[in-house]
Structure 1
Amino acid sequence: MDRPAAPAPARRPRTRARLRAAVALAAVLPLAACGLRLETPPPVEPSPDALEQVRARTVADALDLAADADALAAVVPEGPERTVLLDVAAFSARHAEAAGGVYDSGLPDPAPTASASTSTTTTPAGAPDAATLLAELVDDAAVAADDADTVTDGPLARLVASVATSRDELADRLSAATALPRPAAGAAADGAPDGSADEADQATPGVTPGATASASSSPGGEAPGTGTAALVALALAHDEAAYGYEVVAARVSDDARARAVEAAARHRADANRWAATAGVAGRAGDPRRAAYALPGGLDDPAVLDDLVRRLESGVADAYAAAVAAAAPGSRADLVAGLRQAHAAAAARGAASVPFPGVPELATETLG
């Protein structure tokens, strides 16, 4: 019997070669992966969207104003000018805080370049003069008013409109304290509304320069994108102010009476205009009343002045609320109305506050 042939052992070396190749590949792959991770670029700062640009601009302008006012207050003697400067610094610091402060992504700062390190050796500029700070206030107020009109977020629009109004008032106060003429908004506010300073400068006790603010409303009683409920509340606030001024006019005489009558007529016209814009004029939903509650002691001139201040402040609050409810690009008249109502309240002795028209932030007076 023939013996079976022995199996050929030729495949074993090939199997061992494959095993060695697999082990080598397993060792190389982690090293390659490590190399890929090392070549990944570091994270970069995210690009700010339009909303963040408005917020950051509001903060940056506020911090610049605060720094300039602080520097100028340090070299100005006690008096009306220094009082205003301290308010500019304090109010602006509050504005920056309310807008969220300086953005910090948490990412490490990039390594300084040679040119950057060289630039840090420059001598800082001295304190600006009052005229320069006044121009900054006017320009920054105009920029903020424009941002309030166009920003897409309603609550931020309300805050920025309040900041614009505060800066506008501070500019008026600094102009009066220094006897410097208030300049027009400059190149920094190119294309922005000027805060309606001319109308506000005409404000006198008992007179509300509010008719001009809403005179440019769209024909046909339309205000695209504006919240109806907010406009109804605005019409009601104007109507209550008109009634209050009519009561005041009946209790004063001469020039004071003429101013109160004029203010009542202006508020009545604004109430009619906003009620028509909201679509409630002459309808069952019109909330305006024949009479409104009044405080006691109306024979006291101090009570009358306090009544007018409260009425104008109520109109300012209603304008600010309407700014928040309005669509971007449709708020210019509302922002101007906020400014003018606050100016009228200030003309009757209302305290200067950091956030006009925003009562939840304006309760703390400074200065």
Structure 2
Amino acid sequence: MSAPAAAAPSFEHLLERPDLVWMGQNTTHLEPPVEVLAALEESIRRREFQLYAPALGFEQLRELIVEDLGLPGADVWVTDGAVGGLHHICTGLAGSISRIVTSDPGWPWPARFAGLEGVPATTLDLYSAEQGYKITAAQIAEVIEPRSLVYLIDPLNPLGSRYTRDELVAITDLARETGSLVVHDCTYRHFATDHTLAAELYPEGTFTTYSFSKWLGLAGLRLGAVVAVPELLSRLTAVPSNPLGANIQAQRAAIAGLTVKEPWLARVRGANEANQRTVRAAVERSGLGKLVVYPSHGNFVAVDIADSGWSADALCAAMLERDVFIRPGTYQSPRFGERFVKVSTSVPEEWGERFAAAWADLSTPGAAR
């Protein structure tokens, strides 16, 4: 039996641990591009923090996001992190939504946001190798109704699977037939191979969410975007949740990051892939669990520990005692969360090695469970 885990410390307390390995948030911890740091410093020197930003974001940034996604004709609303845009979609459009369809595992907040406005939620199970750790069009067809909102995370946080073009065609066809909307949460798209945007298939009904926390590492600056064709996006921006605009410093940093995107992505993807290999090797050597999806299409991997004797919370607490912060599946999956833990991998490769040493220590005889 696993001993009950102590309550996880707050991020504020974790910030007080200078030697901590941060592999529990899907953010990038590599040294940022010099251009990004220079943009932040210049914005501070000019005291732009004393100003409000344009309500929809800087025009240059909006154009760069459209170019990055390859969605000509789309419009962009720059938000306080991707989650700020998600909140406004789920609450601002609640009066026209009959139901929100989400997944488990997944990210619980959109259903909670919609629930604030009385919108019922249907959560579909996807922790299944037989269905590729993805929700299927057949599952959605059983529950979708006219004017639903389908929330699709792709690549999937927390498991790392991604949808094929054919799978997205089937899902967007269902949405079109029922007059439903799709939120395509693509915050990990920069780490995926052969990724397809639902907005290419169903532009008139798809909101695409975009993040700078993951690939560029601007998590603390809180910057993201919602992208859609103008007619659809205007349903949100007519009364934006933040008419005074998103963080100016963050927008300057994001513009700089997008101008050096290709060399930066080569670097961060290289570190991500190396750390995924390190985590996989450590898990296989230890006999403590197995990777759920490998290679992951995100900047993280999930490790199934169902047969290990550990609970997810207890294992993460034990890793934290060894100065390695990883996340239990219970944060993102009420039904399957005790089966797995999640390990972020867009971090310095030295951190990957420290993870491997700590994980090996847990697999030694006598390690407390």
TM-score band, normalised by the shorter chain? under 0.3
- Say which one has the larger Rg: 1
Larger strand proportion, structure 1 or 2? Answer: 2
Higher relative contact order (CA 8 A, sep 6+): 2
Using structure 2 for the length normalisation, give the TM-score. 0.24
Larger helix proportion, structure 1 or 2? Answer: 1
Using structure 1 for the length normalisation, give the TM-score. 0.24
